[in-house]
Structure 1
Amino acid sequence: MAMNSQSLSKAQVLIVGCGDIGQRLAQCLPQDIYEVTGLRRNPPPDTPSLHYQTCDVTNAVALSDVLRQGFDVVLITMTPSERSDAGYERAYVQTCRNLVVGLQKQREKSPLLVFVSSSAVYSQMDGSWVDENSPVEPESFSGKRLLEAEAIVQNSGFANTIVRFSGIYGPNRNRLIEQVHQGKASASTHYTNRIHVDDCARSLAHLIELYRNGKKLEPVYLASDSAPAPMVEVVSWLAEQVGVQDFLSEAATNERGNKRCNNKRLLDSGFKFRYPGYRDGYSAVLAEL
């Protein structure tokens, strides 16, 4: 156990690739217990809950210098600069490789590694339920690279856990709402799985707190809300909420895959969703538009 809740010093958390989810996570962690550092190539100004450092995390030397400061938790939440195999390799595989090598060079602390992955590692297309023990045989380059990065973290020798998020939505993630307004929504009956960005951050904070309090984390958590639903059901409900009648397009394609994500392991850990279904989450999003 790396963190001592009775310690007078704050637990040091490093967020590698600190974007929207990282910023929300920092706000979820109690400031009297945690001190959070975010790494960005071009960081914004600091906030009360988050101090930034400038770092290109694909640069092994630069990342290694940061890691010498010593951290109790290292969270990896990257966004590829481009949606290509090379982009995913740089963002996920290269970053995780550099991170593990850098951590192995410093011996001050042995941190918990938390890697933010995706349900894209599952390729099931038959509407079946998937969980943390389901086969992962991704066909897309994105799923393959994420799985490769997961393995680097899992074989690092450090305490670790993988969190696989399904489709993230929330403020500034309004693709489905825009498709409805533009008459470009899909009538597909394939299942879609979602999680509100606030619950992404809250679930990560929940797992970090469990670890700080001496609980053993599972190797993998599938983080998705409790209401997988056919795409046509989701967009039909959205259209009703915003008062749009002609919202479907024959040319529209569904999201990749057709599966239902089982979140039982995360729920069994004590986590409670703020938005347990898409109606709850999208209602909050629409109220803010």
Structure 2
Amino acid sequence: MRGGRAGVRQRAVVTALVLAAVAALPAPVAEAAPAGVWLQRTDPLSTDPIRLQVAAVDADGFATPFTGRVTVSVGRTSTTVPVNGATGQEEIEVPTTALAGGSATATAVLRAGGRTLRGSVVGIADVPPTVELRGFGCGVVTPKRTRVAWQVVRLNGRPISYPAWTPASDTFPAYVRSVRPSVITDSLDQPLRTRGAVVIRRGAKRVATIALPSAQRRLLFSAPWRGTVAGRFAPGAYTATVTLVDALGRTSTATQQLLVARSDAGRCA
């Protein structure tokens, strides 16, 4: 779920949360009392939110009005949404923002005809990462250009559209520092804190790690790589890999090529 590079990171995952079962409860033979709960996926391609149809049926199989709630749980994480099926059924959306990935249980607890009905099904929830990243800038690090920058290109499955701009070679990374776009948010548009690190390698050898402490990050963010050509790192070709982790342990990662040089003249035009 969390592997892969940035270009395929936010893939169209078919969440195998198979929600199609009837949980029948005993009903008096003499009357058609509420007897069961029906849960069914209505959009198998939707991973955030998960779309479900909830219904209550009586002992004769006819729909009966209900109120209640549906909870989708993965490990210690869960999301609950209210339901109110005046016609005996309702289509709902269950956000997966608060869910980890793994074995999932969907449980409906409904009140219908004065009775409490319960139904549960088990499946798998494959929750994609919240953000997809790529390197930002010309990929050259010099004494005057000492930051490694990243850009969020997809957020909660939606591509990010930036205002029209063409950064001049001498403005990077000032643009990143001066412009304040929206921060990274979850699928409910609430700010999302992330932590992580940038690992710098030359070939297979790790030469630096830049810690990214827990914070609300902007859609354009950068990390300082100090002392690049002041004796610590020799000019040449490097790679930088960024990893962001949210509070649920969902990971987004991306790698960009870097060139360490004493000047960027002619390199970032």
TM-score, reference length from structure 1? 0.21
Provide TM-score, normalisation by structure 2: 0.22
Structure of larger gyration radius: 2
Task: Considering fraction of residues, name the structure with more strand.
Answer: 2
- Answer 1 or 2: which has greater helix percent: 1
